[in-house]
Amino acid sequence: MTTPARRPRAGLVLAAATMVSVVALITSSCSGSGYEYIKDSTSTAFFKIPSSWSVYNENQILDNSSITASPQAKQAFAQATWMVGFDGDTPPSPNNLFIFGNAAQKPTGFAQVRPLGQSERDTFSLSTIRNALFDVDGTSSGTPAEMLSSADVVLPGGFHGLHVEYNVSQGQDFLTVNQIGVVDPSTSTLYLFAIGCEAHCYLDNQDLIDQVAGSWTVKEPT
């Protein structure tokens, strides 16, 4: 299996201005621009997606019989204070979400805010963020993902984390993922976002995927 060639591009560095936005962006539905903002109940984390895409809530994700996550991952999902999935495919279905182990043919994604347990806080590192959804380092499988880019994220208010882009094998296909994770200054809460699809799909939709990923915003609670 070979992954498709990627076009040259600038490094993936999230500017603080992208991550810390004015309140107007939170409240705007962006219906006129064809986008809508998805936010958690406290408006500390939000992002925008095309208004034609479908959104799945926590129950729709956890109740899906196709989920292939480990018991530990399922427990982490259940502990989230906020979790949504989104799907750009037609017809829409929770089964399209790449977190269920498929190489989605249209952009899909996932966002989560969850508290970290004491043991997680004690051992937390950038590798925790990198491996939050897939075994990117190959610790369990012995086969690490193909890392395409990696950049530290440092935000106002002490939020910090990692922005990575990688390819993981899904059967005969490759799934390309654009993933961002940050923690608060006390390392008590993880804010995780990911979007991706099959590698060729990713290249075809790279500008849109970058735009959606770049809208992921985390700010201090008010």
Task: For CA atoms 21, 222, 161, 140, give the dihedral sign.
Answer: negative
pLDDT of residue 72: 57
* Fold entry, domain 54-215: Protein Transport Mog1p; Chain A (3.40.1000)
Amino acid at the residue 101: G
CA dist., res. 100 & res. 67, Å (int): 5
pLDDT of residue 111: 95
Q: What burial letters (b/e) apply to 164-201, b meaning 16+ CB within 10 Å?
A: bbbbbbbeebbbbbbbbbbbbeeeebbbbbbbbbbbeb
pLDDT tens readout for residues 13-45: 343 333 333 333 333 344 457 999 999 988 799
pLDDT of residue 174: 92
pLDDT of residue 136: 92
pLDDT of residue 21: 35
Token look-up 């936005």 returns 21
CB 199 within 8 A of CB 173: yes
* 9 Cα distance to chain centroid: 20
CA dist., res. 73 & res. 11, Å (int): 30
CA dist., res. 72 & res. 53, Å (int): 29
Q: Could you tell me the two tokens for 38?
A: 């998805």
Low-confidence stretches of the chain (pLDDT < 70) are: 1-32, 64-75
